[in-house]
Amino acid sequence: MKTQIAGRVFVLGDNIDTDQIIPAEHLVYRLSDPEERKLYGKYALSGTPIEQAGLPDGGIPFIADGKTTSEFNIIIAGKNFGCGSSREHAPFALREAGVELVIAEFYARIFYRNCVNGGYLAPVETPERLVDHIKTGEQAVVDLDACTLELPESGQTFKLNSLGDILSILQAGDVFEYARSAGLMA
């Protein structure tokens, strides 16, 4: 995992649950089939109500028609991101859509652990309500080492919480690769 991530931001509201991240009707695709895996990306966030996505008048869709990946690789969300069921498919779907990290005020613990355990994406927490300061489509640069998010166009910089030891797990690839590299398992 890179420690500096730059890209376009997609802003969501509070209480985005796993059924909104990947609706249950899209859990039928086989993870072992590369073509079917792409469909998890295609349908990522397809259950999110338009008012939750902060898209006035329809705005910009997360996944454009005919695409399986998003032009947005950073998600900014409010409180309780990933609440609902414990499905591992939620962070997986976001990763398949091209998301590298989600920044939220706080996460449902099971979603947070699924992100880390599977090495799917970085679940970064913020002490500030960023959804009130950032708009969908803005460019951002996140530095995981410095724990900052910068908006180059406005020059604003926001402090993020450190990932701490979680960063080592994500950089290893997932919790099992980390355990192997740390000599915790054969």
Nearest residue to 5 (alpha-carbon basis) of 121, 112, 104, 114 = 121
Of all residues in the chain, what percent carry a pLDDT higher than 70?
94
Report whether 44 contacts 22 (CB < 8 A): yes
Report whether 120 contacts 114 (CB < 8 A): yes
Model confidence at 186, in pLDDT bands (50, 70, 90)?
A: confident
pLDDT at 146: 98
For residue range 93-104, list pLDDT tens digits in order: 999 999 999 999
DSSP 19-79: HHHS-GGGTTS-TTSHHHHHHHHHTTTTTS-TTTTT-GGG---SS-TT-SS-S--EEE--S
pLDDT at 85: 84
pLDDT at 87: 83
* pLDDT surpasses 80 at 183: yes
* pLDDT surpasses 70 at 119: yes
**Type of residue found at 31:** L
Among 3.20.19.10, 3.30.300.30, 3.40.50.620, 3.40.190.10, name the CATH number for the domain at 4-181.
3.20.19.10
3-state DSSP call for residue 122?
A: strand
pTM to 2 decimals? 0.93
Model confidence at 48, in pLDDT bands (50, 70, 90)?
A: confident
Identify any residues that bridge with 150 across adjacent strands, giving them in sequence order: 141, 157
Query: What end-to-end distance do the CA atoms of the chain give, in Å?
Result: 23
pLDDT at 1: 85
